[in-house]
Structure 1
């Protein structure tokens, strides 16, 4: 799962016992050599689904990490593109890889933007927020978008209970809960705290109109349904 350029087991253990911010600062130089980076297939499928809805003006990557989301924003946005994250280490890597983009260090639960973007995206970040924190995150994205703006992110279908992935993700979440119960600072990363129905409710509560579209290039489940869907949360055109 890790290339030779990726982190060692010792480095991963240190990260796991750190806070989220410090952990990602430590992991940043080697993050793109881990399986935690959003796969290019997911980025490309997202861009393909968004292309008929564009072009867009200015774009924002929420929880940008090392900047993988720029693969989506750059071809779709005609204006500036910006990434926001609270890890200075991850932002340093992003800045080196994409010097023409704008990079902002901020807590995304209190985004420092006001109607500055037409498209916002996010990849693999929702598990870093407890359910009680999602409303503030989504409200901030809503505020950051211009009227008619779009917030888009892919969501995977839950694995069936008989699959190995179901038990792997359940075991990971249980291990993280145990770790956070006995160790401080906490490291918030859960895979099972953001089901699609709950995410839709929180987005609607923030003022978005929510639809989804399948990403068929990422495969299908045994019942024929898509393994991934793209959430499309639209800010009303007349909201000021």
Structure 2
């Protein structure tokens, strides 16, 4: 479906009819050849924006998948970088794909659920790329509380947010249709496969971050330009853990 190295339509169907964890275990060997993997252009833009706030000592890639965000952290962090994901298959690919950088931070990989992180306040920077569609809106307070708990006071939580498509556009109807299909699937089959692209609104996200104890700043990523109304197409959210 996504080229010769990507998954077939049948493989995607099997994934979608599985649980989220099992689905990503199955998709892991081909994940980097799908549009679900965060593009390098976004990773690089976030790295450039974060460089203004660094350097950092320790970093955590939340829901790291095959380790794309770990590469960003390896540029930012001097001491150690940890990737955490609940898919054993994704972590196995990440271990093979991301080598220990010579003279760089120590790398570690941990299998865990982002809603129950097995760490104390050990990190200066947490990043996440493309994972929030797998959390229901009511799960955001707990997720952000978990992130708050693993950051040292003054630590940062950073992630990119793409502006929603213009109502009536092709992208708008595509995302609306995808979410509708997933809701029907989850209404008739268990376990659920939570993947909703339109559930992560910036206003609510900012509110929940502030409730969890963060001071929130928004940075436009100029590499992606602006919409007709002048607003950025892509922003980086940078949330600082308050004492």
Same fold (TM over 0.5): yes
SS in 1 for 2:140: helix
Asked if the contact 2:71–2:98 (Cα under 8 Å) also holds between the matched residues in 1, the reply is no
SS in 2 for 1:84: strand
Partner residue of 2:104?
none
Matched, 1:3 2:42: no
Matched, 1:221 2:227: yes
Moved over 2 A (4+): none
Partner residue of 1:108?
114
Cα distance, 1:72 vs structure 2? 1.1
Query: For 2:151, which of 133, 142, 145 is the aligned residue?
Result: 145
TM-score normalised by structure 2 residue count:
0.95
Matched, 1:231 2:237: yes
Unaligned 5+ segments in structure 2 are 101-106
**In the aligned structure 2, how far is the partner of 1:224 from the partner of 1:205?**
29
Asked if the contact 1:45–1:218 (Cα under 8 Å) also holds between the matched residues in 2, the reply is no
Query: For 1:188, which of 191, 194, 211 is the aligned residue?
Result: 194
What is the count of residue pairs matched by the alignment?
237
Cα distance, 1:233 vs structure 2? 0.6
Partner residue of 2:52?
52
TM-score normalised by structure 1 residue count:
0.97
Cα distance, 1:218 vs structure 2? 1.7
Partner residue of 1:38?
38
SS in 1 for 2:51: helix
**In the aligned structure 1, how far is the partner of 2:227 from the partner of 2:72?**
25
Partner residue of 1:18?
18
**In the aligned structure 1, how far is the partner of 2:112 from the partner of 2:70?**
18
Asked if the contact 2:67–2:94 (Cα under 8 Å) also holds between the matched residues in 1, the reply is yes
SS in 1 for 2:66: coil
CA RMSD of aligned residues (A): 0.9
**In the aligned structure 1, how far is the partner of 2:127 from the partner of 2:115?**
15
**In the aligned structure 2, how far is the partner of 1:68 from the partner of 1:119?**
15
Asked if the contact 2:61–2:84 (Cα under 8 Å) also holds between the matched residues in 1, the reply is yes
**In the aligned structure 2, how far is the partner of 1:185 from the partner of 1:162?**
32
Cα distance, 1:71 vs structure 2? 2.4
**In the aligned structure 2, how far is the partner of 1:43 from the partner of 1:56?**
17
Unaligned 5+ segments in structure 1 are none
SS in 2 for 1:177: helix
SS in 2 for 1:53: coil
**In the aligned structure 2, how far is the partner of 1:47 from the partner of 1:163?**
30
**In the aligned structure 2, how far is the partner of 1:99 from the partner of 1:49?**
24
